[in-house]
């Protein structure tokens, strides 16, 4: 064998090895991104379940549940009352309409049947992170007076993001840990929406 064939074989083998490492680097990045997206979708779904439960709790009690125990108990055995509202409009003699609202309680459904009607649902799993069952979402709920009006604040945050690039001090709002609500604003929107 001459020197040219040896150098060509070495370069060819080197190119194959380099191509393999490039492929693996790109493929592993794509697979990691897919895994992050899959896990974050489960976290978002769980946050939406918690938000639905909190909205139902607020409808029943007038404020948000400030502990997981209250929310779990409500989801497990709480009731959502079914109320029918009808409006009766009466034309008065001098051309003005008078409106009367009539409320009729039709019955109730349990919170579990209304919001969490899927098999093997365990209310005690609500506060647990889907990707790390030994860690929990943080829950903040408080009522306050703002401009003379009673307002409720709620914030539920993923305390242990699967994507480690999500940090609380990130300047981009949707690159912070997944959460819904705010401690300072009256909102229940998620930062992924």
Q: Classify residue 22: in a domain, yes or no.
A: yes
Quote the pLDDT of residue 1.
65
Q: Residue 106 half-sphere exposure, CB side, CA atoms within 13 Å?
A: 8
Q: What are phi and psi of 24, to 5 degrees?
A: -60, -40
Looking at the structure of the chain, the number of domains it has is 1
Q: What pLDDT is recorded for position 50?
A: 92
Phi and psi torsions of 182, nearest 5°: -160, 150
| Structural domain includes residue 52 | yes
In a domain, 116, yes or no: no
Residue 66 within any structural domain of the chain: yes
Domain that holds residue 18: 3-79+122-182
Residues 87, 98: contact at Cβ < 8 Å?
no
96 located within any domain: no
Does 98 map to a domain? Answer: no
The answer to whether position 84 is within a domain reads no
Token output for 151: 């307002």
Give the pair of three-digit tokens for residue 177.
């840990």
* 8 Å CB contact between 136 and 68: yes
pLDDT (0 to 100) of residue 185: 86
CB-CB contact of 187 with 181 (8 Å): yes
In a domain, 117, yes or no: no
Local confidence pLDDT in tens for the 193 residues of the chain: 688 888 888 898 999 989 998 988 898 889 888 998 998 899 999 999 999 999 989 988 888 998 999 999 998 888 888 888 888 888 888 778 888 888 888 888 888 888 888 788 888 888 999 888 889 999 999 888 778 888 889 999 998 888 888 888 888 777 888 899 988 888 888 888 7
């Amino acid at each position: 064998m001459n020197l040219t064939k040896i150098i060509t074989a070495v370069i060819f083998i080197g190119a194959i090895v380099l191509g393999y490492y490039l492929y693996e680097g790109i493929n592993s990045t794509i697979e990691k991104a897919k895994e992050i997206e899959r896990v974050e979708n489960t976290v978002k779904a769980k946050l939406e379940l918690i938000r639905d439960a909190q909205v139902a709790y607020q409808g029943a009690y007038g404020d948000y549940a400030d502990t997981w125990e209250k929310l779990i108990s409500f989801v497990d055995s709480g009731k959502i009352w079914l109320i029918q509202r009808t409006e009766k409009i009466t034309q008065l003699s001098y051309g003005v309409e008078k409106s009367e609202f009539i409320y009729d309680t039709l019955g109730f459904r349990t919170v579990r049947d209304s919001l969490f009607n899927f098999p093997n649902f365990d209310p005690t799993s609500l506060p647990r992170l889907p990707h790390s069952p030994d860690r929990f979402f943080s829950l903040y709920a408080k009522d306050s007076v703002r401009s003379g009006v009673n307002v409720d604040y709620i914030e539920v945050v993923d305390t242990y993001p699967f994507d480690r690039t999500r940090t609380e001090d990130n300047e981009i709002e949707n690159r912070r840990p997944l959460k819904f609500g705010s401690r300072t604003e009256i909102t229940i929107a998620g930062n992924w929406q």
